[in-house]
Structure 1
Amino acid sequence: MRTRFRPDRGLTVRMVWTVFLLGLVYVLFVAALVAWLKSALAVMLIAGGLLLAQYWFSDKIALAALGARQVTPRQAPELHGLIDRLCATADMPKPRVAIADTDLPNAFATGRNRKNAVVCVTTGLMRRLDAREMEGVLAHELSHVAHRDVAVMTVASFLGVLAGLMTRFAFYSGLFGGGRGRDQQGFPVVAVVLLVSAAVYAISFLLTRALSRYRELAADRAGAMLTGRPSALAAALTRISGDMSRIPDRDLRAASAFNAFFFAPAITSRAGPAALLMTHPPLERRIAQLARLSREIEEAGR
């Protein structure tokens, strides 16, 4: 299905490489589990079920977790009007629209494909942004839908979920004598599985976080190019990040589980080595990219 969002080859290449590298790590992981096939098989089946549930019901899970509700054009005419215009400009199907009643200023897109996509904004975001800023944020979220990166992130996170489950399973099995009845090599096998699972989790975690940061930059670019107003998106980012500091820490921590899908992280991205663990690039980098785009658009219009 085609849209007028420009194809982002950089994003596509990174998504393909991330999934490919995770696949290679997964082969190593499965090889390490062969010695523990019965237990591993059960955990893998559980993890596979969780992946399918997350992939198939991601929209419902996300909306329910944030207490969001789907709204009609009559209930939110201005919001629907903005999305209608952006979808017409992008030549893409209109997603469902939802609102979460929370003071946290944010937005996100979810859904396994364009047909089942939903764009959700919070009441806190709607109160703080003007029409142009809101348009920039919505264009950013529609870019996620158009590039299918929500589905890719869901699949890419599977290995990390599986490795995390295996790490916990191996740890508690060895700690509480789950290896009883086996030969004397039982404990070394548990230790190896524990170490390999932990390494796989760490590698998959870093790879998916790197992909998450790039996809946010890609969505900023695509959204700004669609509206032709990078400065409006930059203003929205600056306003949201500034107002986030006024939100109680308890609410920010509760919302941080959704950081990877939020327009702006509930927990602020940091520069330096800690940035490798963040779901979003630092605010300064996002603003700098939008400033460059703004200059390019001005120069092209002369």
Structure 2
Amino acid sequence: MGGYGKTAILMAAMTALFMGLGAILGGTQGAVIALAVAGAMNLFAYWNSDKAVLSMAGARAVDERSAPDLVRMVHRLADGAGMPRPKVYIIETDQPNAFATGRNPENAAVAATTGLLRALSAEEVAAVMAHELAHIRNRDTLIMTLTATMAGAVSMLANFAFFFGGNDRERPGGMIGTILLMILAPLAAGLVQMAISRAREYEADKAGAEICGNPLWLAAALKRIEALASRIDNPAAERNPATAHMFIINPLHAHAHDRLFATHPSTANRVAALEAMARSWPGSRAAGGAGRMAGSRIPVVRR
């Protein structure tokens, strides 16, 4: 089964979990109300998630006057991929990282940290930006926002179950059942959210390599980012851990193994997949993409 099929199944599981929790709290009517609440929350997230995430990350908008090299690179990659040009942002932090956000390709943004621009070559930056453009083209930014909203709603309902339904003796399991529900429902929702995040990263790696023209650029970038990010804090991300799944590498210093609770796939697994992809490409394709920029760096423009 492909990545899109798995994502559809996981999102269906998240919806079923949410409606099931509502049904336990209030029967059929509770399930309907839960679905309506989820719809309202997702509608709000659809229109406002990009602004909220960029604000939490402390990102500032740049243009061709303030950051010409980065903006022109993103525009060139987007044009080559046949996509609308996203807005470009820079985050003032030493940790190398990047993310994309937006409800659709016509209303999207990519953000890169100053640490990324300092530490990576222009080829590697191009590969990272191509990965983020792939998330936008695949509409992962919307999927991730909706699943995060659903996971939050499940936790909210679980709290309602504890505070407003804990003494309902007619509910199966009584108080013990309610406490288990309060603990296990958010855990299950979180696991589904993480599974979707990890599936979308592999798809974005593949599509990003195609956009930039060389899988090895992205493989090198992932290795470099992980090595540096594991030693450098990202204060804004630490204050807002719910945004961690949006970054190309977990900014919260999670270990690189494919663990149950990891928001990102193993970097070693991602690199291996990209290297296998490069071996299957003709040499001419692996030399294309954003152009020859070996050894150069994207200038970091201060305020």
Fold equivalence (TM over 0.5): yes
- Specify the code of the residue in structure 2 equivalent to 1:261: M
Q: Is the 8 A contact 1:209 1:278 kept in 2?
A: yes
SS at match of 1:268: coil
SS at match of 2:60: strand
The aligned residue for residue 290 of structure 2 is: none
Q: Is the 8 A contact 1:159 1:201 kept in 2?
A: no
The aligned residue for residue 132 of structure 1 is: 123
Q: Give matches, 1:94-173, under 5 Å.
A: 94-173=85-164
The aligned residue for residue 183 of structure 2 is: 198
TM-score by length of 1: 0.83
Distance 1:29 1:46, change over 3 A: closer
1:231 correspondence with 2:216: yes
Separation in 2, partners of 1:249, 1:83: 23
Q: Is the 8 A contact 2:191 2:261 kept in 1?
A: yes
How far off is 1:249 after superposition?
A: 8.1
Distance 1:136 1:301, change over 3 A: closer
Aligned match for 2:2, one of 4, 10, 20 = 10
The aligned residue for residue 257 of structure 2 is: 271
Distance 1:236 1:253, change over 3 A: same
Distance 1:25 1:256, change over 3 A: closer
Identity of counterpart residues, as a percentage? 35
- Specify the code of the residue in structure 1 equivalent to 2:154: A
Q: Is the 8 A contact 1:170 1:190 kept in 2?
A: no
Distance 1:77 1:184, change over 3 A: closer
Distance 1:12 1:163, change over 3 A: same
How far off is 1:202 after superposition?
A: 2.4
Q: Which runs of 5+ in 2 are unaligned?
A: 287-303
1:286 correspondence with 2:286: no
- Specify the code of the residue in structure 2 equivalent to 1:283: T
Aligned match for 1:215, one of 200, 203, 210 = 200
SS at match of 1:297: coil
Q: Is the 8 A contact 2:214 2:285 kept in 1?
A: no
How far off is 1:265 after superposition?
A: 0.8
Moved more, 123-132 or 165-174: 165-174
- Specify the code of the residue in structure 2 equivalent to 1:11: G
How far off is 1:14 after superposition?
A: 1.7
SS at match of 1:281: coil
1:67 correspondence with 2:58: yes
- Specify the code of the residue in structure 2 equivalent to 1:97: V
How far off is 1:170 after superposition?
A: 2.9
Aligned match for 1:296, one of 280, 284, 295 = 280
The aligned residue for residue 5 of structure 1 is: none
> What RMSD, in angstroms, separates the aligned Cα atoms of the two structures?
2.9
Q: Is the 8 A contact 1:166 1:194 kept in 2?
A: no
- Aligned residue pairs, count: 284
Q: Is the 8 A contact 2:57 2:236 kept in 1?
A: no
Separation in 2, partners of 1:227, 1:163: 38
Q: Is the 8 A contact 2:19 2:35 kept in 1?
A: no
Deviations 1:1-40 (A, max 9, x none): xxxxxxxx822212211122223333322220215978x9
Separation in 1, partners of 2:61, 2:234: 27
Q: Which runs of 5+ in 1 are unaligned?
A: 1-8
- Specify the code of the residue in structure 1 equivalent to 2:8: V
SS at match of 1:70: strand
